[in-house]
């Protein structure tokens, strides 16, 4: 499972001009399932996202997790994280899970996150989305879970 975590001052996702998910300070996470991924990796991802210490403490150090500091978690499906750019100029996406598996795993990540965190918002799987964010720091961290 692949994820790109961005610490944000605020973020929102729009579909067809309508806001479908919005958070204040917290984490925007782009999520991509790969073909061999399963539910255990969905749980591992949620654990990592909730415990990742990249939010500022009182001294301004990256020392607090989302569970410590509160804040929002905005999850957005993003199959292009699996892009293969090794051959030529057009990326290949065979490294991403097929849509049915990708949807099931993304929905499982969302469900697990909502069980454990009070402020979880999402985009719409497979939709043409516009993601608006103010990256705080900037802090952007790629995650690969296997």
Known catalytic residues? 78-80
Q: What are the distances in angstroms from CA 34 to CA 60, 68, 96? A: 35, 30, 5
Q: What is the model's pLDDT at position 31?
A: 98
Each residue of 74-113: pLDDT tens digit? Answer: 999 999 999 999 988 999 999 999 999 999 999 999 999 9
CA dist 81 and 128 (Å) reads 15
Tokens of 48: 């990592």
CATH architecture of 2-144: 3-Layer(bba) Sandwich (3.50)
What is the domain partition of the chain in residue ranges?
2-144
Each residue of 83-93: pLDDT tens digit? Answer: 999 988 999 99
Each residue of 8-51: pLDDT tens digit? Answer: 999 999 999 999 999 999 999 999 999 999 999 999 999 999 99
Each residue of 54-65: pLDDT tens digit? Answer: 999 999 999 999
Nearest of 108, 134, 143 to residue 22 by alpha carbon = 134
Q: What is the model's pLDDT at position 22?
A: 98
Q: For the full predicted model, state whether its pTM sits above 0.75.
A: yes
Q: Is 96 exposed, middle or buried (0-12, 13-18, 19+ CB in 10 A)?
A: buried
Q: What is the model's pLDDT at position 1?
A: 97
Average pLDDT, the chain: 97
Q: Is 59 exposed, middle or buried (0-12, 13-18, 19+ CB in 10 A)?
A: exposed
């Amino acid at each position: 499972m692949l994820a790109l975590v961005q610490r944000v001052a605020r973020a929102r996702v729009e579909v067809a001009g309508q806001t479908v998910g919005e958070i204040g300070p917290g984490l925007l996470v782009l999520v991509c399932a790969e073909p061999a991924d399963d539910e255990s990796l969905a749980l591992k991802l949620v654990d990592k996202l909730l415990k990742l210490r990249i939010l500022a403490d009182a001294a301004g150090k990256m020392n607090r997790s989302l569970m410590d500091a509160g804040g929002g978690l905005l999850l957005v499906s993003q199959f292009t994280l699996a892009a293969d750019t090794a051959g030529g100029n057009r990326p290949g996406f065979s490294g991403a899970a097929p849509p049915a598996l990708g949807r099931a795993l993304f929905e499982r990540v969302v469900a697990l996150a909502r069980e454990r965190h009070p402020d979880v918002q999402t985009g719409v799987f497979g939709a043409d989305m516009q993601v608006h964010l103010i990256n705080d720091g900037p802090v952007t961290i790629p995650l690969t879970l296997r």
